[in-house]
Structure 1
Amino acid sequence: MSTSSQPADVNAAFAAERSEQLQAAAARRADFDSRIADGKLVPLGDGRFRINDPGSWDNGEILIERGDGQVLPQHGLDTSLGQAALYSSVPAWHQLGNVVPGGTSDVDEVLTLGGIDYDVLRRPVEFRNSLDSPHLQLPEHFVTARSDTGAGLGVVGSKYEVLQNRDAFAFLQDLVDRYDVVWESAGAVRGGRRVFISMRLPDTVTIDAGGVADQIIPFVVALNSHDGSSPFQIVVTPWRPVCRNTERFALRDANSRWGVRHTRNARDRIEEARRTLGLSVKYFDEFAAEEEALARTELALADFHQVVDELWQPPTEDASVRTRNSHRRRVDELTDLYTENTTRLGTTAYAAERAITEYADWKQAIRPTGSLRGNNLAARATAVLEGSNDDLKSRAHRQLLTLTRRS
């Protein structure tokens, strides 16, 4: 009797689960249709939609419909092998890639899971003057190509030396002089032409002036290009986990970025990289001291607006209406960000720096080009890593520091 009832129980459970799935799909579809009807999702064709919601962090980003009302952001990750080329120690915002909770120290595992376990080959550039003419080689020029897919990555000169993906891991290990590091993330973008690797440093910076207890976690990120477009770079970049805000150390007398061209001696310049990046206890102590000073400095809204005007020159009276409106929107967005940050950090120069950093990284207008065209979020993430706004954030940091010395 028990065996005869088993199928009924299984079928009932399956029916209930299926019903829940259908209800969830219907709810997603209803929400999706509602967002379109409200103008918060603007159809762009080919299953792509632009978010039109000024109150949302995702305003202006592009989403792709996956069916049943499911939409995912464009991520910009390489998908040459059929899945997103990403390894991470924590789930990514786009729910893609291979996640190893807590991370791993195994370089081979990270290379495989991150979709970057390929070598880069250097082959002569060949051409023909006509379809029936023999192949000729272009002197002093080479094509870089992936060993796994055979896809071409770029055209480089005779002095260009490939820095393999595995070599980038070895460089980071040598840089911090540790070989048991836990890798935080690794992957490829732009069809494998660019690769990124990150590790977390053991030193956590805590800004506790006024009891804000704001933790800043420093990471070291390696950026490697295989198309000749940029040098091999190392970036020291703190990630604040309480918000989606990446910011860069902005000390007056220290750099947070080091790069070397793809030449034969690239792997031999560890000491130079250490000196340039300032990877030392003194470096982190100086950074913490400056941020503590900002956290102790009261900053009225009028003073914040003055800092904004020094960073972004206000338009003249004869400027176009479009220019004046653009400046007003910028000031309004910065003011809103400052107000949001003051709820936890107080009306301080530290809150002002956070607001300006958030605006520079996630709000400032951006025009993606090339393979990132139409993909604002990937373009912003790339700009953050590549330091496109470093100068602006450093100027803001220096300007706010002058306010800490007011009598």
Structure 2
Amino acid sequence: MAHNLNFNSRTGEYSFFSVKEKAWHGLGKIVEDYPTSAEALKFAGLDYDVIKAPNTHTLPSGNSIVSDNSFFTYRSDNEAILGDKVGKDYQVVQNREAFSFFDSIVGNGEGIMYETAGALGNGERIFITAKLPGYIRVGNGDDVTEKYIFLTTSHDGSGSIMAAFTPIRIVCQNTLNASLRNASNVVRIKHTSGATDRFADAHKIMGLANTLTDQLGDIFNHWTTVRITDQEVRKLIQLALSPNKETTDLIRKGLEDEMSTVFKNSVNDAFAYAMTSDTQQMETTKGTLFGAYNAVTGYFQNVRKYADGQAKLQSIVLGGTAQQKSQSAFELCTSYDKNGAGIFMPN
């Protein structure tokens, strides 16, 4: 099952909902209006509790020992096992608490618009995306970026709670993963004692979103005034997509023939997107540094092929390749703005 969405045999439904747009192979519930947190919890099939219980070890004699340091987690609704190797310090954060986190950001959910949510596997990993009020407007206002917060957490002990601020450019739906020097766009909370209390404190995330919104708006608008040649765009794409130092050295020396075919194909695809996509022919993007940055982020969102929806999610939002390369593009554009084409020369 490539999509890996949880199928709840008790209800006969997939654990996923989306507002208006079909996603994840067309599975799950599509709703027309933005739901409340309580409605979203139910629509996404996340209205279950996660229970932590000690593991029981059966000995050859037939006697059983209840562990005091080895635990497992399971769902309250269908008793599906979510994790069987959970430590004694692991603290469960319930799905409803995840939605409460979003509601607390702007006060009782006012202005929060839940757009997607769902569960993967047996329900051991959940994810939620919510749109925040306001926009980042670039240029004359036609190029608009919406503000999202994405959250994911696991119930099997495999990872932290992660919340990330993720701007999404409406005209091409590409995710702009840009971390500024004085702020990170990701916050992680471990499933240990006090996790629920730290989770409930959403002010850090909201302050983060507002800080990034203001700063990114200023940066993007400035980049629309910085001109860059097509040849320089291609070189910037090469450097942003470079998989290692050896390839980066070849790029800076202009030794393209020595680069791998796979890498050159990726660069060609991203450059073609930069030169031909309708969203790259706008006043804000055609021949501008902002367009060069969007060539990289748009390539990963709209051109590159992924094995499945979960692989794309991992790459673009959960710290995978796309997020890393988008950050490289942001840093390269920042450097180009300051130093010009000299950034492409050998160090």
**What's the TM-score, normalizing by structure 2?**
0.83
Aligned-partner residue type, residue 333 of structure 1? D
Q: Please state whether the residue corresponding to 1:333 is helix, strand or coil.
A: helix
1:218 pairs with one of 122, 126, 147: 147
Q: Structure 2 vs 1, CA of residues 125 and 282 (structure 1 numbering), >3 Å: closer, same or farther?
A: closer
Q: Which residue is 1:199 aligned to?
A: 130
8 Å CA contact 2:113, 2:132 repeated in 1: no
Q: Please state whether the residue corresponding to 1:202 is helix, strand or coil.
A: strand
Which one is further off, 355-364 or 302-311?
355-364
1:98 aligns with 2:98: no
8 Å CA contact 1:120, 1:147 repeated in 2: yes
Q: Which residue is 2:316 aligned to?
A: 384
Q: Structure 2 vs 1, CA of residues 156 and 381 (structure 1 numbering), >3 Å: closer, same or farther?
A: same
Q: Distance in 2 between matches of 1:398 and 1:76?
A: 34
For structure 1, the 5+ residue unaligned runs are 1-63, 65-73, 367-374
Q: Distance in 1 between matches of 2:280 and 2:42?
A: 43
2:260 pairs with one of 300, 320, 324: 324
Q: Distance in 2 between matches of 1:271 and 1:143?
A: 24
RMSD: 2.7
Aligned-partner residue type, residue 346 of structure 1? K
Q: Which residue is 1:398 aligned to?
A: 331
Q: Distance in 2 between matches of 1:249 and 1:327?
A: 23
Structure with greater Cα Rg = 1
Q: Please state whether the residue corresponding to 1:298 is helix, strand or coil.
A: coil
Alignment identity in percent?
A: 25
8 Å CA contact 1:255, 1:278 repeated in 2: no
1:257 aligns with 2:186: yes
Q: Which residue is 1:165 aligned to?
A: 95
1:184-231 deviation per Cα after TM superposition (whole angstroms, max 9, x unaligned): 2221112211111222111111111xx472111011122121011111
1:67-88 deviation per Cα after TM superposition (whole angstroms, max 9, x unaligned): xxxxxxx432111333221122
1:107-145 deviation per Cα after TM superposition (whole angstroms, max 9, x unaligned): 332222111111001111122244x62222344110011
Q: Which residue is 2:51 aligned to?
A: 121
Q: Please state whether the residue corresponding to 1:264 is helix, strand or coil.
A: coil
8 Å CA contact 1:200, 1:218 repeated in 2: yes
Q: How does 1:7-406 map to 2 (within 5 A)?
A: 74-81=2-9, 82-93=12-23, 94-105=25-36, 107-130=37-60, 133-154=62-83, 155-180=85-110, 181-208=112-139, 211=140, 213-269=142-198, 274-275=203-204, 278-279=207-208, 281-311=210-240, 312=242, 313-314=247-248, 324-339=260-275, 340=277, 341-344=279-282, 345-361=285-301, 375-389=307-321, 390-405=323-338
Q: Distance in 2 between matches of 1:178 and 1:356?
A: 37
Q: Distance in 2 between matches of 1:314 and 1:255?
A: 26
CA shift at 1:174, angstroms? 1.8
- Give runs of ≥4 in structure 1 deviating > 6 Å: none
Q: Distance in 2 between matches of 1:102 and 1:276?
A: 25
Q: Distance in 1 between matches of 2:168 and 2:313?
A: 13
Q: Distance in 2 between matches of 1:263 and 1:176?
A: 26
CA shift at 1:283, angstroms? 3.3
**What's the TM-score, normalizing by structure 1?**
0.71
8 Å CA contact 2:185, 2:208 repeated in 1: no
CA shift at 1:299, angstroms? 1.3
Q: Distance in 1 between matches of 2:141 and 2:109?
A: 35
CA shift at 1:272, angstroms? 6.5
Q: Distance in 1 between matches of 2:105 and 2:206?
A: 10
